[in-house]
Chains A and B, each alone.
Chain A
Amino acid sequence: MIRADNLVKTFGDFTAVSGISFDVKQGEIFAFLGPNGAGKTTTIKMLTTLLKPTSGTIELDGLNPMLKQNEARRRFGIVFQDPSLDNEQTAYENMELHAVLYSVPRKVRAERIENLLKIFELWDRKDDYVKQFSGGMKRRLEIARGFLHTPKILFLDEPTLGLDPQSRNQLWTIVKRLNEAEKTTVFLTTHYMDEADRVAHRIAIIDHGKLIAQGTSAELKASTNSDSLEEAFLALTGESIRDESASSADGMRQMAKMWRR
C-alpha cells in the first residue's frame, strides 16, 4: 500500500532523510518511530505530497504521488503534528468543508459525518465552535475528519501529543476499530512507545535520517534483548538528547500568545 524506495531529502547541505526504504501492506498499522529531528515528519511530508523528495521513489496504492498528486491525495487522510482545524467554524462545518474538498458525494456526506462524529463522541458538540474544544476533542475531530473520505491510508503524525491517558486510550481504541472495520492502512508516528507497542503491527525506527531497525515489536525486543519497546528503542537510538530548530510556525505561535496577553 505504501512503498518507499531509497528515499532521500536534503535541505541545502543538511540531509534530513538519507535513503530509506520500507513497504507497508494493506490494512497494516505501521509505526514510524524515532527521536526528535530523526526525519519522521519530513518522511510523512514526502509521502503526503507536501515535500518533493530529492531522490528515490514513493508509491501509494500503486500511484506515484508526485505525478498523480490529486488522485494520491484522495486516497489518504492525514492528521498533522500540529492542529489544522478552522477554529472559527463548528465541528460539523469543519467536517463538511473537508467533505466538499475531498468531493465526498453529497448523498453520503451527512450520514458519514454523523456516523464519525458519533463514533468519536463529538455528535453532541457538533454545533459548537472548535475554538471552545479541549485538546483531546480537537484531536478526535481531526482524526474523524481524516477518516471522512474513506481513505485507504491514514497518516497520523504524533496524534496523541499532549493528550491525557484517557483520551489517548480512547483514540487508539477507535483507530484500531476503524482499521479493522474499514481496512484502512495506518501509518503513525509517536513518542509513546507503549502506544506503538499496543497498536502497531509493525514498527520501523529511524535515526539521523536512516532506518536502523524494522519488524514487529517482539522482533525488535528480541534483537536487542530488551523487555520493553522503550528499552529496545533506547538501545537502538542511544540516550543522547536531540535538538530541533524552531520553525517559523513556532515563532508565530509565540507571537500570537504575546498578542493575546
Chain B
Amino acid sequence: MSAIYILWLRELKRYMRSRVQIIASLGQPVLYLLALGFGLGPVFQRAGNGSYVQFIAPGVIGMSILFMCVFSGISILWDRQFGFLKETLVAPVSRMQIMLGRTLGSATVATFQGVLVFLVCLIAGFRPHSWTAFPQAFIFMALVAITFAALGTAFGSVIKDMQGFPIVMNFMVMPMFFLSGALYPLTHLPNALTVITHLDPLTYGIDGLRGSLIGVWHFGFALDVAVMCAIAAAFLSLGAYMFSKIQL
C-alpha cells in the first residue's frame, strides 16, 4: 500500500512543481473554448441548439483530462530514458502496485486539471444549469481520468521511444477526442459516424459531464456511469498487463 502511495505522491509533486506546464496546458482548452465556442457560436445558435459555449465546455473539460492522462502515461518513456523506471522495477514491490501508484497519480493530476479547466470555463461565461451539478460532474471527471490514465500507462509501456508518440496522438488520442461528441451533438449524425461515436469510450464520459453540467443527456446517467466503470476496469487490466510486460 505504501508503495502505491509514494508513487502516487510522486506524480502529484511533479505536477505541482511544474507551474509553467500547468499554465501552458490550459492554453489548448482555452483556445478551443474561445475560438470554437465563440467562433461557431452564431452558427450553432441559428441551428436552434442554443449556446455553443454552454455545449462545448464539458467537451473541453473532458478533452483536457484525456490529454493530461496521455501525457502522464507517456512520462513512463522519460522514466525509462532517465533510468528511474529501473529503480522501481527492481524494488521488492509487485508491478501491479507500481502501475496502480503511477496510474492513480496521473488520474488525480488529470482530475485536478479538469477542475481547473472548469474554472476557466466559468470565467469564459459558462454557467452550469445548477450549482449542485458539480459533485456529479466531478464523478465523471474522475472516471474519465482513471480510464484514460490507465490507457496512457498502457501506451507508455508499449512505446519504446519518442517516435511512437505522434502515432499515439494522431491515431488514438485525437480520433478519440474528435469522435466523442465533445464538439457536436450526437443526434442526426450519418450512420457510420453514429456507430463510431458509440464505440468511443470518451463519448460516455463527455455525455456524463455534459448531462451533469447542463442537463442535456444523450444516454442518461446510469448508462454513462455503467459504461465508464466497465471501460475503466478493462483499461486498468490492459494497463496492468502491458506494464507487467515491460522489459529493460
Contact = CB atoms under 8 A, between A and B. Distances in A.
Interface of A: 45, 48-50, 69-71, 73-74, 78, 80, 82-89, 93, 96-98, 100-103, 248-249, 251-253, 255-256, 259
Nearest to A99: B6
Contact of A100 (B6, B90, B94, B248): B6
A70 B79 CA distance: 22
Contact of B2 (A100, A249, A259): A100
B162 A252 contact: yes
Interface stretch (B10-18, B120-128, B166-174): B10-18
Interface stretch (B80-88, B134-142, B180-188): B80-88
A259 B161 CA distance: 13
B93 to A, nearest CB: 5
29 contacts: A45-B248, A70-B93, A70-B94, A71-B92, A74-B92, A80-B86, A83-B82, A84-B83, A84-B85, A84-B87, A86-B10, A86-B79, A86-B82, A86-B87, A88-B14, A88-B17, A97-B6, A100-B2, A100-B5, A100-B6, A101-B3, A101-B88, A101-B92, A102-B91, A103-B2, A249-B81, A252-B161, A255-B163, A256-B162
B83 A83 contact: yes
B83 A50 contact: no
B160 interface: yes
Interface of B: 2-3, 5-7, 10, 13-14, 17, 77, 79-94, 160-163, 248
A68 to B, nearest CB: 10
Contacts of B161: 248, 251-252, 255
A249 B89 CA distance: 16
Given A100-B6, A253-B81, A50 B92 contact: no
B87 A248 contact: no
Contact of B92 (A88, A103, A248): A103
B90 A73 contact: yes
A45 B247 CA distance: 11
Which among B6, B84, B160 has the greatest number of chain A C-beta atoms within 10 A?
A: B84
Contacts of B3: 100-101
B82 A87 contact: yes
6 A-B pairs closest in CB distance = A84-B83, A101-B91, A73-B92, A70-B92, A252-B81, A100-B6
Contact of A86 (B80, B81, B84, B162): B84
A87 B6 CA distance: 16
Given A100-B2, A100-B6, A48 B90 contact: yes
Contact of A85 (B2, B17, B77, B87): B87
B92 to A, nearest CB: 4
Contacts of A49: 90
Nearest to A83: B83
Nearest to A72: B92
A255 B162 contact: yes
A103 B6 CA distance: 11
A256 B163 CA distance: 12
